[in-house]
Amino acid sequence: MFGLGPIGRWLSHTDPAVDPAAGMDLLGSDVAELAEIARSVSAEYGVSSPAVLTANLTRLLSRRVPVQSLTPGGALGFADLNFADATVLLVRGLHVGDLGLVAVRALQHQVRLNGFACSSAGVLLDLACADRRIDVMAVGRPAA
């Protein structure tokens, strides 16, 4: 009834057949809805999972891919860290002014990825910026 899901089914007093393949006595429509939710979460989170970030960062380190630039990330406090091989990581600074300094040093070709560390807080990037080191948090990869 008008796409209201469980409320519409209750109001119309019809109960579709239970999908026995669900194994949890869920309605077939509920299983389809849960599958769609799982696909959308996977699509959104897939590019920002620590495993995906770690794989990309390991590749960048092993190939010594230089940082090319830092561009606005679409929200205050976030930026896109652009590498020479077209890899882009969405990052946020840990301290006020960190992203500005990285942006200036990147324009001067003085930013290098030294390493990274994974923790419960996320993936922390260690950037060498000319005469100092700056840590930024990798949040994910921007949607293509």
pLDDT band at 108 (very low <50, low <70, confident <90, very high): very high
Domain membership flag for residue 4: no
Mean pLDDT, rounded, of the chain = 79
pLDDT for the residue numbered 117: 94
- pTM score of the predicted model: 0.65
> Do 35 and 87 share a structural domain?
no
> Do 66 and 23 share a structural domain?
no
Structural domain that includes position 36: 17-48
More confident residue, 38 or 96: 96
Domain membership flag for residue 10: no
pLDDT for the residue numbered 17: 52
Reported for 35-43, long-range contacts at CB under 8 A and 24+ positions apart, including other chains, are none
> Do 77 and 27 share a structural domain?
no
pLDDT band at 11 (very low <50, low <70, confident <90, very high): very low
pLDDT band at 51 (very low <50, low <70, confident <90, very high): confident
Burial 44-82 (b: 16+ CB within 10 A, else e): eeebbeeeebeebbeebeeeebebbbbeebeeeebbbbb
> Lowest mean pLDDT: which of 35-44, 63-72, 99-108?
35-44
> Do 88 and 44 share a structural domain?
no
Mean local confidence (pLDDT), 40-44: 56
Domain membership flag for residue 6: no
What total of structural domains would you count in the chain?
2
